[in-house]
Amino acid sequence: MVNILIIDSVSGDRENCIDIQMSSVEPTQDYIDHTNDVIDIINEEFSKAGQEVKYTTVHIAENLEDPYWCKKTQANLNRVLEEILLSDTDSDTAAGFAGVYLGVPIVCKTINGARVTENILERVTIPIVCPGENSAEEREKYADMIYVPECGDDAKNTATYVCSIKNSWPGMKPVEGIWGTAEEKQAEYTSKLAAIYLAKLLL
């Protein structure tokens, strides 16, 4: 059985899932549904290969409206990386995980703000996959920010960011969706694409 860490939200006591509440703020149903969508997509890919997946799902967002540049959310991410992902440094894969779906990457205003998390991420040896932005409007919102994990052609490659083919950004991996028309496949939501990409990467 493959063990995957999902840093996004919790599953709501779903079978084969260990839910961890790392935030002081309870997730909304939208957050829980989003995590379950990710699990469904990964399960679908693994079931085709006759394999099962076990998940540890972690809710880290403190500011539910905009978690990506919240310092408290970043502190929770650091805790997850240190206390859960890197808790078993003798294992071939960190704490027995094969890969990480990081649905809440962080954006920082300064390099100093990003450095602590990046230093932790450099010790992770398993794949980390993050969804990129779905539109130019989303991308513009964080245009002057520093991504954590880093993102870009000259990044340290501590993670892979996934984007759609229609909305493709420098330093990100364009991935085609698997549902709908040809046009819909090229414009799929990046959260779904990141789940597809991680599953195929681990199979």
Higher pLDDT, 90 or 56: 56
| DSSP reduced 3-state for 54 | strand
**Bridge-partner residues for 164, per DSSP?**
175
CATH classification of the domain holding 117: 3.40.50
Q: Quote the number of domains for the chain.
A: 1
pLDDT digits (tens, 9 = 90+) for 88-143: 545 444 568 999 999 999 999 888 989 999 999 988 889 999 999 999 999 999 88
Tell me if residue 161 falls in helix, strand or coil. strand
What Rg, from alpha-carbon coordinates, does the chain have? Answer: 16
Average pLDDT of the chain is 92
For residue 105, what is the DSSP state?
A: -
Q: pTM for the full model?
A: 0.94
Which domain, by its residues, includes 19? 2-202
Provide the H-helix boundaries in the chain: 29-48, 71-80, 111-121, 136-141, 182-185, 190-202
Amino acid, single-letter form, for residue 15: E
Q: Is the pLDDT of residue 75 over 90?
A: yes
